[in-house]
Chains A and B, each alone.
Chain A
Amino acid sequence: MRLTIKPMKRCLSIFALIIGLNASAQQYLTRQGTLSFDAGSPLEDITATSNSATAVYDAADGKLGVQVLMTSFQFKRALMQEHFNENYVESEVYPKAVFKGKYHEGRAIGALTIHGMTQDVNVPATLTEKNGMAHLLVEFEATIEEFGIAIPHAVANKIDKQAKIRVDCKMPSR
């Protein structure tokens, strides 16, 4: 009898350990993250916001992913929104922008894909975990041309070549 109980206990303890590990491996997810950008100039106000960005974060290994549908960006002007999708980011061909990487010691490090082109990014970020909620806040600049987005000469002085991007995602634990 003793011989059979011992391994069973061990099995249980391993099981408990794994359960415990899983509980500490907290994952967070939101599909209502806010992602906005400003590529305007004194000549033209070019700002847009999406309130349907998806963000995932795994507290155990620091994995962080953010994705946004290009057509979910709302501009103040309907025509600007159309031009953004149709002529600049070509949403029909490249429907989303994605960041896949890690959050590590106050920085978001990984690969950012916009307009089908991927660039490595390593930018300051804050990620705070509180009451079952992870809050990601990143502000950084991206060079539009590095993502193969052409800016016609006629509007070159209206568009800031450095787009200021702001990510603000409150992710509940899943």
Chain B
Amino acid sequence: MKQFLLAFTALIATTSFAQEEDLFDLLDEGDTQQITYATFKGTQLINAATNETPGEGVLQYVIAHRFGSFNDDYLYNFLGLDNAQIRMQLDYGITDRLNVGIGRSSFLKVADGFVKYKLLQQQSGTVNIPASITLHSTQNYRNARYTDGIDHDLTDRFSYMHQAIIARKWNRSLSTVVSPSVVHFNLVPSANDPNTTAHLTLGARYKVTNRIALTGESTLLSNPGLSSGERFTTPIALGVDIETGGHVFQLHISNTRAMNAPYWMARNPYSVSNGGLFLGFNISRVFTIKE
């Protein structure tokens, strides 16, 4: 009986001891669900869209330039800076997931509207989602006059790009994006040319410091050219993101000049070998409208 008592007290003693030790362990047992934030600094990587949207109640203004050919008579043309294409964009975060915006580009005088929706957010914890998926859809209206002498009606001028942006933040430095996309032109030069083409955007950013990141992207295309013989090239771009407070500066060099998805994705005539290398930048500024 004595032995039993001894064993019993020893047991009670160890359990109460264990309980004390466990008190701080309780801190870690709670909900540790973590939604991945800041996969990319901006809503655009370079030309391609990222999975990011401005938060709810945030108005974003983006001004983008694509300069003239960098390597065509570069001294006379001041590295192409004399000749810029411009696009302005204004967009708003209706919710933390839903973003709508409008834009206007000097390239073919294209006006556009877009919707972006964060369908899935990368997260870890009780629920594990390895990547974020954002749906993105743009509608583009070409204002530039046609030179073919045909009276084009309104619908001819529209083109579209729809994509699923699949992004993953691998660690605090490296994030990648893969975006299967389709481009549709209401009007193509010949009946032999497809209206709808498939594209695959691949992109990455690598953070060098907390506020500076290197970026790169390329978009594979299913339409290497038109039946007329006009060839299209694979858009490729390299850049650097610099973040200062409410601004993100994105400086880059690319082989594209258009800033609306259907045009830079599916209608890019420039290649590095024929002198198509352009400096460019995107600058975004956010304003918190609703706190």
Contacts and interface: CB of A to CB of B under 8 A. Distances in A.
Interface of A: 4, 7-8, 10-11, 14-15, 18, 21-22, 25, 27, 29, 31, 52, 54, 56, 58, 61, 63, 65-67, 69, 71, 76-79, 81-82, 85-87, 90-93, 95, 98, 100, 154-155
A19 to B, nearest CB: 9
A77 B37 contact: no
B291 to A, nearest CB: 4
B20 interface: yes
B1 A8 contact: yes
Interface of B: 1-2, 4-5, 8-9, 12, 16, 20, 23-24, 26-28, 30-32, 34-35, 37-38, 54-56, 58, 93, 96, 171-172, 210-211, 244-246, 286, 288, 291
Contact of B23 (A27, A76, A155): A27
A65 B288 contact: no
A4 B1 contact: yes
Given A22-B16, A154-B244, A54 B5 contact: no
Contacts of B211: 87
B67 to A, nearest CB: 28
Contacts of A77: 55, 58, 288, 291
Given A56-B27, A86-B38, 14 more contacts: A14-B8, A18-B12, A22-B16, A27-B23, A54-B26, A63-B24, A77-B58, A78-B58, A79-B58, A79-B288, A81-B55, A87-B211, A90-B172, A90-B210
Contacts of A10: 5
B288 A76 contact: yes
Contacts of A91: 37
Given A14-B9, A58-B23, A78 B56 contact: yes
Contact of A82 (B23, B37, B93): B37
Contact of B27 (A54, A82, A92, A154): A54
A78 B24 contact: no
**Which 6 residue pairs across A and B have the least CB separation, nearest first?**
A78-B55, A67-B27, A92-B172, A76-B291, A7-B1, A87-B210
Nearest to A27: B23
A29 B35 CA distance: 25
Nearest to B288: A77
Contacts of B1: 4, 7-8, 11
Given A65-B23, A69-B32, A98-B27, A82 B38 contact: yes
Nearest to A79: B286
Contacts of B30: 31, 52, 54, 67
A22 B93 CA distance: 53
B171 A92 contact: yes
B38 A52 contact: no
B202 to A, nearest CB: 24
Contacts of B56: 78
Contacts of B27: 54, 56, 65-67, 98
A58 B12 CA distance: 18
Contacts of B35: 71
A7 B24 contact: no
Nearest to B53: A78
B185 to A, nearest CB: 36
Given A10-B5, A77-B291, A79-B286, A52 B31 contact: yes
B12 A86 contact: no
Q: Which of B30, B58, B96, B172 has most chain A Cβ within 10 Å?
A: B30
Contact of A79 (B4, B24, B55, B96): B55
A14 B5 contact: yes
A155 B16 CA distance: 51
Contact of A93 (B16, B32, B96, B172): B172
Nearest to B55: A78
Contacts of B210: 86-87, 90
A37 B171 CA distance: 27
Nearest to B32: A69
Contacts of A90: 172, 210
30 contacts: A10-B5, A11-B1, A11-B5, A14-B5, A15-B8, A22-B16, A29-B26, A54-B26, A54-B30, A63-B23, A65-B23, A65-B24, A65-B26, A69-B32, A77-B58, A77-B288, A77-B291, A78-B55, A79-B54, A79-B286, A82-B37, A85-B38, A86-B38, A87-B211, A90-B172, A91-B37, A92-B171, A92-B172, A93-B172, A95-B34
